[in-house]
Structure 1
């Protein structure tokens, strides 16, 4: 039994990548706004390690506003085929510009253009308006690389708690929880 939550995450994530049909890196991201109103949505994990869990998004959308107001978040990975889930709670910071640039460069050109065309989370009169903006971006960046928009980048959730939940018969689930301390991680169990 490991007492390193990141080694255990790596093991479970490797199994999920080989068994989940779609988006094994999908995770629910929960935030709250300045008034305490919660919101949750799916995002994709794009990096992880002892320093945290990384995702990328538009910095002008609702989740970015929530994270600016309250820089804390919860993540949930749910792998139904494995009957497992992992809960993460922590503080949120921006990734560096270099990290954001490096990841943006790996995205498909269409996804890069979409990042320029979208006013994420803002009202949209009709789909044709967005498609026209996308075509404008195609023309704007025709024949060249698409740079990362200044309003787009990454976030890192640095965990203070990570829970590993494994389904068991008769709802007698196994719940292992890791809590960050000044000296590292403390491991414990929770009742199902």
Structure 2
């Protein structure tokens, strides 16, 4: 029943979500067109798949996430070129590997020092970190161009509710809901908008 509910929730998301042609924000449209919908095969994807295979027996789903998420995360890291990365889960070796492949010069920031250093990209699992609460916790590390990514935002009622609460934060300018993940942007010049994108 749990998987059925999750599957139905995903179908509902796809029905309500937009593709690139339903997006009026130039920033979000470009992100969708050049990164999210870039299905070009890349050699590094084989390395990512092999790393996932070694960590998990089920190659199609890694920690409740589809394998395509890690390919997308790689493209995000190439696109945004983050120099400082904050991983909420320091034992998430797959995500760390993907980021390093995309940007070998990126430096990791530990949670204990996050209040004194700014992060260009922050990644957290909504199943382990309440999105609304975690946002408040990491705000000292957020700057105008920080990208905050939560995985599993629709995994259960609690994660969905917290994701909706996060969107009410006055510091948040734009959110993008890709179902498996949610992206948060803080650029002051951007119009306040929330997007559901079909992926």
**TM-score in terms of structure 2 length:** 0.28
**TM-score in terms of structure 1 length:** 0.28
Higher normalized helix content (fraction of residues)? 2
Larger-Rg structure = 1
Higher normalized strand content (fraction of residues)? 1
